[in-house]
Amino acid sequence: KARGKRLVIATATVALQEQVLNQDLPMLNAHSGLDFEYALAKGRGRDLCVAKLDQALEGAEPNPTLSLFEQTIATDAGGDFPQLIQEMADTYASGNWEGDRDSWPVAIDDRDWRRLTVDHRQCTNRRCGHFGACAYFRSRRHLEQADIIVANHDLVLADLALGGGMVLPSPKDCIYVFDEGHHLPDKALDHFYHRFGINSTLRWLRTLKKSLTELNTALGAQPTLARLLAAFPERIAALEPRLGDAYAMGHQIAGLSAGAGDETQHFRFPNGRAPEPLVELAQQLVIPFAELSRDLETMSDILRESLDPDKSTGLPKEQAEPWLPLTALLHGRALEAHALWSAMAKPDPAGQAPQARWLTFQSFGGEPELTFSASPVSAAETLARHLWGSCYGAVVTSATLTALNRFERLQERAGLANRYRYQRLPSPFDYSRAILSVPREAVEPGDAMAHDRSIVQFIEGLGDDEAVLVLFSSRKQLRSVADALEEPWASRLLSQDRLPKRELLERHRLAVDADKGSLIFGLASFAEGIDLPGRYLTHVVITRLPFSVPDDPVGATLAEWIESQGGNPFMRISVPDASIKLVQACGRLIRKENDSGRISLLDRRVLTRRYGKALLDALPPFRRQIDGVEAGEPVRN
């Protein structure tokens, strides 16, 4: 505060965000003797657009063409939409709702919410007639006064992708604190990933072509708009046959027929290299989409200026306002198309990891779609340039920043330089209160049926009053073991596969409160997102070492590149990442200083493979039992 900087606390999840905002900061404010203001920052898409709500309440779209476009891009509203918007209007007007989607008492269908919100391109800002009542700008005014801003990783990264300072303060004026910072590299990749659906693009281009008469009637009086609209038929005519060629070429490359099945299928280009004919076609698509994007941006700018009473564009406000959301939306679509085809056409720099490039075939409502995608395989360069190199300061925290007791994996993935300070702090917990066991039932999981039987045998030998969390690496195995359980364990089972998380945890706590045993089956998300302190969790069972197979297009391309450089992707990626996940899974047990219990690892590879010792030594210093016998002192890390 003395330096004129602001603190941005970014969490990985909404639950952590709410904890910081509603518990941690109020407590700090009350007891620290510090004087500070704090506020929550959310993306524009989480807030109600009062202008769109007002249009919806009128019972009709501003014009028939807009309605046609909304149908084309799949934004049909649900059946309860009229009742929903009336309730929203009443509650917002009374001051009992601030327009935040997350604070509405029931979940809002995505189709309905798309009708009621805008992005930064569609928003008319101060030119909007509802600016004074705008939910988003009300929250922005709170942000301007705040010393501490609570956000999430996605919002910080989205702001950086826009150049920084668009939603949050400029990075040079911020000190960031990233909680659960081990998620940051993957989150960053999501923000720099591009995709392009052939048929969905052809649909909106053809709808635009059919609607040019209506567009000219509404906007043609403005000379620049008339000129741009006159160029659209030629722009679209240049794109349509090339997109048809791309669709046919994609099927030919992947060896599929035009009607290939309903299942989602991926075809990855080895080493990220698209075949030369596709690269040439991509080069032919880059310029037309750049021109279309430029024209739509100019149209949006003119329409936006037409809403300003101090500017004269020759177009009345009432004619411009209904069309701005549409042109802004299409501008965003054209920008994304240009980005994808640029990524397909541009060669990768020599000596650096390539971009991952792939095709996806899938069906939506019986309609086939071919999607082209491209993504960096690492966020390191992006984070180094846009975040670490531009912010005033940053702190990254997590219980799992290290892999195998080292920071190298984080540095590699997040683009963190050696000159930064790295520190591991001791835990306040007494880990000798817990036992890490590799029991006799543990087998190697290569024989799936034998491994399933060993898990069932182990579970059915547990005590009747235990509160148990069993973590699986695959849904298939979770279901197989669940189906094989006999009573009384079958009736005690609470499976993530069958119950919503909130209901599952409520049932579990009720059973424990009634002094009954309870058994939770969960997948990877439960290895990190479950907090059951004390008697609510006394035994964590990890069915197998949490190795991820890099079979997604991004992971597979990275592994392929590491191998081409003479490296071992299993030791460089899979083992360190498994170490992080194993620490997270074991971390479910000891949540408070007086907690105790047992962790059972039912995968004998931790004893028989050379990487096993490194995985065990990276865990907290639990007491160890191997085949029922107390082992020696664990390595203290």
Over residues 142-151, the pLDDT tens digits come to 888 899 999 9
Question: pLDDT tens, 459-488?
Answer: 999 998 999 999 999 999 999 999 999 999
For the segment 510-518, the average pLDDT, to the nearest whole number, is 94
- pTM for the predicted model, two decimal places: 0.84
CA 12 to chain centre: 9
For residue 153, give the 3-state DSSP assignment.
helix
Residue with tokens 């460089």: 572
Angle (CA) 11-17-21 rounded to 5° is 130
Spell out the residues 6+ positions from residue 618 whose beta carbon is closer than 8 angstroms to its own: 402, 403, 404, 405, 579, 582, 583, 637
pLDDT confidence of residue 122: 81
Bin 47: left if φ > 0, else alpha if -120 < ψ < 50, else beta: beta
Residue 459 is which amino acid? I
Q: Is the distance from CB of 344 to CB of 250 less than 8 angstroms? A: no
Q: What value does the mean pLDDT of the chain take? A: 90
pLDDT confidence of residue 66: 52
Domains of the chain are: 6-191 (no CATH), 195-375 (no CATH), 431-630 (3.40.50.300)
**Range 133-145 burial, b when 16+ CB lie within 10 A, else e:** bbbbbebeeebee
Burial class (CB in 10 A: 0-12, 13-18, 19+), 168: buried
The 38-40 sheet, strands edge to edge: 38-40, 148-152, 6-11, 174-178, 393-396
Report the alpha-carbon distance of residue 200 to residue 289 in Å, rounded: 15
Report the alpha-carbon distance of residue 202 to residue 505 in Å, rounded: 46
Share of the chain above pLDDT 70, in %: 95
pLDDT confidence of residue 322: 83
Token pair listed for 141: 């005014």
| pLDDT beyond 70 at 258 | no
Question: pLDDT tens, 551-585?
Answer: 899 999 999 999 999 999 999 999 999 999 999 99
pLDDT confidence of residue 82: 86
pLDDT confidence of residue 167: 85
Select from 324, 342, 320 the least CA-distant residue to 332. 324
Q: Is the distance from CB of 623 to CB of 432 less than 8 angstroms? A: yes
**Range 506-539 burial, b when 16+ CB lie within 10 A, else e:** eebeebbeeeebbbbbbbbebbbebebeeebbbb
Output DSSP code: residue 47: B
pLDDT confidence of residue 436: 97
Report the alpha-carbon distance of residue 385 to residue 197 in Å, rounded: 30
Residue 339 is which amino acid? A
